[in-house]
Amino acid sequence: MDDARLRQAGGREAALSSQCIAECTNPMGNPIMKSRSPAVLAAFAVTLLSSSAFAETTLTVYTSVEAVDLDRYKQTFEAANPDIKINWVRDSTGVMTAKLLAEKDNPQADVVWGVAATSLLLLKGEGMLEPYAPAGVEKLDQKFVDSANPPAWVGMDAYVAALCYNTVEAEKLGLTPPKSWADLTKPEYKGHVVMPNPNSSGTGFLDVSAWIQIMGEEAAWKYMDGLHENIAAYTHSGSKPCKMAASGETVIGVSFEFPGAKAKQGGAPIDIIFPSEGSGWEAEATAIIAGTANLEAAQKLVDWSISKEANEMYNVGYAVVAYPGVAKPIEHLPDDVASKMIKNDFEWAANNRAAILAEWAKRYDGKSEPKS
């Protein structure tokens, strides 16, 4: 959306309502007023209130939510908060994080809404987030709220690691479906597993950090040594392994549940498997950028972003949301996705990220020969 165009549109609305004020306060204009129904009058009152002192604010909101969801989120929010307009700036998580860090000394965003919590922790460590406890934050599942008080970020929903398993190709090759992470190291899957490279994908990192948290450091690296033998390719993005499984390019894609459900909807012959040891997960979260000129509007957005209404909106795509009791099952996904999630220590993950990634690259990135 074009910022200037938005502002222009906002100005036009304000001009219209001020024109109305002039007309309606005209003492000779009474008959018009009388003929109006109560609903129109109420609407008129709302217009008057919201346009008082041209209070409309445009917030620049950085986000990584799916492109399809952008318009829906914007419309739902703006319907509830007519005095605030959203100007989306969207890109994938990695690009968005790089952009935010690059703008450290000259922040352009007012709010980030829908960026991975791990990325927001990096920003927090740079002092880039404005701590704020939104109204009703106590109602959220606490694993979706930053540990500081007031919290620097609050969560919206989670994406959960899952395997996409192509049943047609598996049958051709005579494979049995894996049940656990440990199964993936079995020799039968050699060359049939694709996972995201943690050095370029947030999903890849959440897998690796979850394995270390579940198995302990030493066992996890040993596990990954074994897994590496079976990997056909490490991809740059987290959803690609699932889409590769969906198109039969690989049999097992280590990915997360959302693209799996979408691919299955599109007719792809895949099963979505949640490994028995539990899955790593990442929260999508909201935070205010320190130094914003529109703090009040930014706080209103964060307040709304954790409301029940907002969480119902997230639930359209995401099986797990931050507000307890809201989530309804998503087609093609089990009802209890939330129960597959491990206890994820975001702070530990953020603080050890650089070291884990370096170790991973040392072990697996240098071996360049692909396996057929």
Partner 1 sequence: MTALALPAGRAPRQSVSRDDLVKRGLMVAISLYLVLSLAAPLYVMLSKSLSTYRFDLTQFEFQVSDETATVWSKPKTAAALNAELSALAPEDLRAGSDSRLATTKFFKDFSFRSPVKYRMRGTVEDARWLVGSAPGGGTEWQEFDSNSFRRIMLRPTQSFGLDNFVAYFSTPSLSISIRNSALMATISTAITIAVAFGLAYALNRSRMSFKGLFRLVTVIPILVPSLLPGIALVYLFGNQGLLKPIMMGYSIYGPIGIVIGSVFFTLPHAFLIISTALSVADARHYEAATSLRASKWRTFWTVTVPGARFGLISAAFVVFTLVITDFGLPKVIGGQYNMLAVDIYKQVIGQQNFEMGAVVSVILLIPAIIAFAVDRIVQRRQVALLSARSVPYQPKPNRRFDMLCLAWCSVVAVFLVGIIGICQLAALVKLWPYDMSLSLKNYAFDLMDGGGWASYANSIRLALLTAFFGTIVVFTGAYMVEKTQGFSAGRSAFHFLAMLPMAVPGMVLGLAYIFFFNNPANPLSPIYGTMTILVICTVTHFYTVSHLTALTALKQMDAEFEPVAASLKQPFQKLFFRVTVPVCLPAILDISIYLFVNAMTTVSAVVFLYSTETQLASVAVLNMDDAGDIAPAAAMGMMIFYTNVVARLIHAGVSGLLLSRTQRWRDR
CB of 360 to partner 1, least distance (A): 9
Query: Exposed, middle or buried by CB within 10 Å (0-12, 13-18, 19+), for 83?
Result: middle
Q: Give the residue with the Cβ less far from partner 1, 327 or 357.
A: 357
Least distance in Å: CB of 370 to partner 1? 4
Closest approach, Cβ 250 to partner 1, in A, equals 7
Give the shortest CB-232-to-partner 1 separation in angstroms: 7
Contacts of 8 by beta carbon, 8 Å cutoff, 6+ apart: none
* Segments of the chain assigned E as strands: 57-63, 84-90, 111-116, 129-130, 154-166, 193-196, 231-235, 252-256, 270-273, 281-289, 320-321
Toward partner 1, which CB reaches closer, 155 or 278?
Answer: 155
Q: How far is the CB of 316 from partner 1 (least distance, A)?
A: 14
Nearer to partner 1, 274 or 346 (CB): 346
Whose Cβ is closer to partner 1: residue 136's or residue 269's?
269
Q: Would you say 121 or 289 has its CB closer to partner 1?
A: 121
Q: Which long-range contacts (CB under 8 A, 24 or more apart) does 183-191 make?
A: 183/275, 184/227, 184/230, 184/252, 184/254, 185/223, 185/226, 185/227, 185/229, 185/230, 186/230, 187/230, 189/230, 189/251, 189/252, 190/229, 190/230, 190/371, 191/230, 191/232, 191/371, 191/372
Of residues 323 and 346, the one with the C-beta less far from partner 1:
346
Residue from 349, 351, 310, 22 nearest 206 by CA? 349
Q: Give the shortest CB-305-to-partner 1 separation in angstroms.
A: 20
